[in-house]
Structure 1
Amino acid sequence: MTLIEKIPTMSDEDVINLLANARRLKEAGDEKQQAAAAELIPPLEEAAAERRARRLAAAQAKRAAKRQIKRKAA
């Protein structure tokens, strides 16, 4: 199983850390590391964006639910 195939099973924190490491290696690594990082960055960025959007949507839904409860109580 490649690292790209493991992305869906990683935690949000792991994805963010791996993305940061890949960006660092793309700039400061040797040629092999830079090539590997360049291959990893797009799927990691996509996964990070999807997870960020999911967390934002969940937070918005939670706030909306709390507002409805307060309105009913008032």
Structure 2
Amino acid sequence: MCPPAAVDAGDRLADPQIGGLTSSLAERELALEEGWIVLTGGMTDAVPLEPDRPVTAEFTHLGGVTVSCGEARPM
């Protein structure tokens, strides 16, 4: 599987939905954990990307987009 894009904590918390989620979790003594994926309003289920296997999304009136990734490399 392809690694997720890195986002630093400042960017993450600047998003109102993520900031609200982290606050709500903190009130319950819970927290987001490293490596978790949070979808804020995803239109479909999350689809894992596999190396060299493209995934295409088609949008009415907009067209389509295809994404793919190569083999994961150590950071």
Give the TM-score range, shorter chain.
under 0.3
**So what's the TM-score if we normalise by structure 2?**
0.25
Relative contact order, CA 8 A, sep 6+: which one is greater? 2
**So what's the TM-score if we normalise by structure 1?**
0.26
Q: Which has the higher strand share?
A: 2
Q: Larger Rg: 1 or 2?
A: 1
Q: Which has the higher helix share?
A: 1
